[in-house]
Amino acid sequence: MVHLDMALCWFLLVVIGSSSADDEFYTSIGHMTELLYTEQDLVASLEDYIRAEENKLERIKRWAQKLADLSAFALEDPEGFLGHPVNAFKLLNRIDRKWSELESLVLTDVSHGFVSDVAVGRRRFPDEGDRTGVAEALLRLQDTYELDTDSLAKGELPGTSRLRGGLTADDCYDLGTVAYKANDFYHTELWMSQALRQLERGETPATVDAVTLLDYRGYSLYKQGDLERAKESAERLLEIDPVNERANANLKYFKYQLAKEKTGEETPETLTRGRASYGGAYERLCRGDSVELTPRRRSRLFCRYHDNRGHPNLRIGPAKEEDVWDRPRIVRYHDVASDDDMEIIKELAKPKLARSKVSDGRTNEGLAVPSRISQNAWLADKQHAGVDRAVRRMGDITGLDTSTAEELQVVNYGVGGQYEPHFDFQGGSAVFWYNLRLNGKGDYQTRHAACPVLVGSKWVSNKWLHERGQEFRRRCGLRSSD
């Protein structure tokens, strides 16, 4: 009511302020009748204002109810909800863009605390880098696991259930523009085409239109050398907007280049793909296409109870040891940490988590790089009894001295989190291997990686045990070739 009164006062002040001292309305009924028409205009204007405010409030109410339902659903299991990459992308995209749009919508109502609440909350909002990062993570998952664009847009991923709505046409457009800015025309075309398909199915987008999508699609097809489909995209655009100057110019150019192709003339160099080509051993392994061992090598792998030659802490409860690989020898120890200890380690690490970095070979400084997408923290052995138990168990099982080891590293991988193939010679955890040969040189067969997280949130802790302190526990070989 306060706002309506203020608006009405403003309208009346305009009218009153426009009159002169000689306008004595009370002295003439005829003159006063003009006020009735003036007031009628003001009432009509006020009604327009009320309708606009009601429409605005109705939009805000619908948006608020939708978000309230989504928030309640997500908070039933936050990690499970955000473990779905589509949910994570939509959250960051929504907070980075949609809340700002809502703030602008209600900005005129400066007396309400909501605007100040959003202004304060903005300090904790993700930025453009987060939105770009989560978009790139989806594209990385799409490539690594060879995911169909339509299925990914619907959120149809193996083992997923906590999805509330897939990607909208606007979301698909946002993914496409992230790829476009990175000169990744392969994914630009995929996601602009997906947005177009969703429009053809009857979806009504909030911000993007078919003309924009076809424009991006045609250009990205041209950059990949697909002139025939680029021409078809320009023709579809002109069916919607016949006077579009750029589409008309593009269509003439595409036809010209196609004609040159038919005569065997060279055409401008094009880009076949905007990002690194996938399909190597790393990606195949991530998809589960493992390297098969020969029957002879497989016959050397066993499972056993391991007590480390009668170690007192393993005599009653020996470790369950499984041979995973023979060269280099990799073993897995099952059930080495309790659920409680794992939760303790996670909770201790959460406040310390920061973007994982790799060492710059020239400056020895830590750098955040696209090949390592995760956050990590370091925990001292004596920081908590749960950490101490885990570290002592590592020493008991491996028979190595942990006093010279590095602190326990805890790593959390988020959406599409990965660590591309790398070595850890500067030194392994339930999976254990030696990175160094007996002669002290690095074993290049120990190159390993962390596959991009398709669904869920992956937590890993590892311990690097140094050579120093192992002189009498893992002795050097007698030959330099050992």
pLDDT, tens digit, 9 for 90 and up, residues 374-397: 899 999 999 999 999 999 999 999
Q: Supply 87's token pair.
A: 């949910």
**pLDDT confidence of residue 450:** 87
Among candidate residues 190, 105, 204, 205, the one with its CA nearest the CA of residue 151:
190
Is the confidence at residue 291, as pLDDT, over 80? no
The separation between the first and the last C-alpha atoms of the chain, rounded to the nearest angstrom, is: 86
Q: Give 33's pLDDT tier (boundaries 50, 70, 90).
A: low
Q: Give 277's pLDDT tier (boundaries 50, 70, 90).
A: very low
Alpha helix ranges (H) inside 145-184: 149-154, 169-181
Q: Are 421 and 448 in contact (CB under 8 A)?
A: yes
- What domains are there in the chain, each with its CATH number? 56-262 (1.25.40.10), 296-462 (2.60.120.620)
Is the confidence at residue 1, as pLDDT, over 70? no
Q: In whole angstroms, what is the distance from residue 102 CA to residue 92 CA?
A: 15
The one-character DSSP state at 95 is: I
Is the confidence at residue 178, as pLDDT, over 60? yes
Torsion of CA 291, 297, 298, 303, to 10 degrees: -120
Q: What pTM did the predictor assign? A: 0.74
Give the pairing of strands 458-462 and 330-334. Answer: unpaired
Determine which of 103-107, 163-167, 372-376, 400-404 has the lowest per-residue pLDDT on average. 103-107
Q: Which residue has the higher pLDDT, 437 or 105?
A: 437
Q: Are 438 and 473 in contact (CB under 8 A)?
A: no
**pLDDT confidence of residue 37:** 75
Residue 403's Cα: distance from chain center in Å?
38
- From the CB of residue 459, how many other CB atoms can be counted at a distance below 10 Å? 14
**What percentage of the chain reaches a pLDDT higher than 90?**
42
Residue type at 444 in one-letter notation: Y
Q: Supply 451's token pair.
A: 């596959």
**pLDDT confidence of residue 97:** 76
Q: In whole angstroms, what is the distance from residue 431 CA to residue 330 CA?
A: 7
**pLDDT confidence of residue 388:** 94
**pLDDT confidence of residue 147:** 92
Q: Are 196 and 213 in contact (CB under 8 A)?
A: yes
Where do we find the tokens 């990606």? 283
Q: Mapping DSSP to helix (H, G, I), strand (E, B) and coil, where does residue 275 land?
A: coil
**pLDDT confidence of residue 413:** 87
Kindly give, in sequence order, each residue whose CB lies less than 8 Å from that of residue 146, ignoring residues fewer than 6 positions away.
Answer: 287
Q: In whole angstroms, what is the distance from residue 348 CA to residue 194 CA?
A: 42
Q: Which residue has the higher pLDDT, 104 or 452?
A: 452
pLDDT digits (tens, 9 = 90+) for 83-95: 889 988 988 888 8
Q: In whole angstroms, what is the distance from residue 350 CA to residue 202 CA?
A: 43
Mean per-residue pLDDT over the chain, rounded: 83
- What are the φ/ψ torsions at residue 312 (nearest 5 degrees)? -55, -35
Is the confidence at residue 2, as pLDDT, over 80? no
Q: Which residue has the higher pLDDT, 116 or 401?
A: 401
Is the confidence at residue 40, as pLDDT, over 90? no
Q: Summarize the confidence of residues 222-246 as an average pLDDT.
A: 96
Q: Supply 318's token pair.
A: 């020996």
Is the confidence at residue 370, as pLDDT, over 60? yes
Q: Give 225's pLDDT tier (boundaries 50, 70, 90).
A: very high
Determine which of 67-76, 225-234, 318-327 has the lowest per-residue pLDDT on average. 67-76
Torsion of CA 280, 281, 286, 288, to 10 degrees: 120
Highest mean pLDDT (candidates 144-153, 159-168, 419-428): 144-153
Q: Are 161 and 198 in contact (CB under 8 A)?
A: no
Is the confidence at residue 272, as pLDDT, over 50? no
Q: In whole angstroms, what is the distance from residue 217 CA to residue 188 CA?
A: 7
Residue 12's Cα: distance from chain center in Å?
53
Q: Give 5's pLDDT tier (boundaries 50, 70, 90).
A: very low
Q: Give 4's pLDDT tier (boundaries 50, 70, 90).
A: very low
Q: Summarize the confidence of residues 158-181 as an average pLDDT.
A: 87
Determine which of 6-10, 187-191, 455-459 has the lowest per-residue pLDDT on average. 6-10
Q: Which residue has the higher pLDDT, 345 or 453?
A: 345
Q: Supply 5's token pair.
A: 């009164």
**pLDDT confidence of residue 278:** 42
